[in-house]
Amino acid sequence: MRRRSTTLTEQELEIMKIVWERDQTTVRDVYESLLEHRKVAYTTVMTMMNILEQKKYLKKRLADRAYIYRPAQPKGQVIGDMVRDFVDRVFNGSAEPLLLHLVQEHDLSPAELEEIARIRRKS
Amino acid sequence: MRRRSTTLTEQELEIMKIVWERDQTTVRDVYESLLEHRKVAYTTVMTMMNILEQKKYLKKRLADRAYIYRPAQPKGQVIGDMVRDFVDRVFNGSAEPLLLHLVQEHDLSPAELEEIARIRRKS
DNA sequence: ATTTTCGTACTAATTAATTAGTATGCGGCG
DNA sequence: CGCCGCATACTAATTAATTAGTACGAAAAT
């Protein structure tokens, strides 16, 4: 059988982005934010957020009438996991070929590269 | 409804990697190659390769008794599309934050970075 | 010539992902 | 009090992704 993906799916990520930028939020908040871009049912958002809670991406806490949701893991961590998963799946774990694609197709200037190299040298 | 993903799924990619490295292959070839790593049915591989043909990732040509499959698009192109899709989905289209993750977590040496910068400067 | 082998076509079954509906509870207000 | 608004829980439905089975034809082997 197909195994459940360990990283965030497309819709899950869309919701997590909203939660991360607010840090603290409700189903309604997220629902309204999503509505600005596309049609979606309130209950759909709730279901997704429940799944995200099961998957340990969100924590909820009952406050007054509605649950308040917060990220359960820092954004950098989660995104880092996604990057690692992508590098593993697509490039068998080696980051260099991905770098090559990036510099060749995503208009990264040499200056930006130098900048990155400098940061790297310091760490 | 959920829209069909435009890029390769996990299993599709696994098969395409095998096809790319052989350039020309059959269902049986791929099947046996996959078997070295995990249990899978011959017909499953065939179904996947048919889907890949529908999605225009593979071309097939009847030779003698079995179909011979070839990539319909160059590997660099397809992988490039996957990278772009990832950058769009995860980083809203900007490559720099991805670069930062790469240098921080995938042990890229400064030397490798210089190397990339050099390649970039030439293009 | 009959059986075995190997290939495809077609179809089915399962699971995750996604979207949404129905039932129900609670607090506030006319 | 009884209804309205809003929240959740539970369940259902749909689609893509994935895995695999059955039927069947043609070539090869005996």
Structural Rg of chain B based on CA atoms: 18
Q: How confident is the model at residue B1 (pLDDT cuts 50, 70, 90)?
A: low
Chain B residue nearest residue A113, CA to CA:
B117
Partner B contacted by A121 (CB < 8 A):
yes
Work out whether the CA dihedral A87, A93, A98, A99 comes out positive or negative: positive
**Sequence-separated (6 or more) residues with CB below 8 Å from residue A114:** B117
Which tokens hold the place of A97? 């070929």
Nucleotide nearest to A66 (CA to C1'): D7
d(CA A62, CA B64): 68
According to CATH, what is the number of the domain B10-71? 1.10.10.10
Set of chain A residues whose Cβ sits within 8 Å of the Cβ of B107 = 95
d(CA B46, CA B40): 11
Asked whether B30 and B18 are in contact (CB, 8 A), the reply is: yes
Residues B28-84 have pLDDT tens digits of 999 999 999 999 999 999 999 999 999 999 999 999 889 999 999 999 999 999 999
User: Which residue, among B52, B60, B69, has the nearest Cα to B13 in the 3D structure?
Assistant: B52
**Residue A62's beta-bridge partner residues?**
A67
Would the Cβ of B43 be found within 7 angstroms of any atom in strand D? yes
d(CA B24, CA B18): 10
pLDDT at B88: 95
Partner B contacted by A100 (CB < 8 A):
yes
Chain A residue nearest residue B16, CA to CA:
A90
What residue spans define the domains of chain B? 10-71, 75-122
pLDDT at A115: 78
**Sequence-separated (6 or more) residues with CB below 8 Å from residue A85:** A6, A7
Contact A116 B110 (CB under 8 A): no
Which value does ipTM take for this structure?
0.90
Partner B contacted by A6 (CB < 8 A):
no
Question: A23 to chain B nearest CA, in Å?
Answer: 18
Asked whether B16 and B51 are in contact (CB, 8 A), the reply is: no
d(CA B42, CA A2): 17
d(CA A97, CA B82): 13
What mean pLDDT do residues B100-105 have? 87
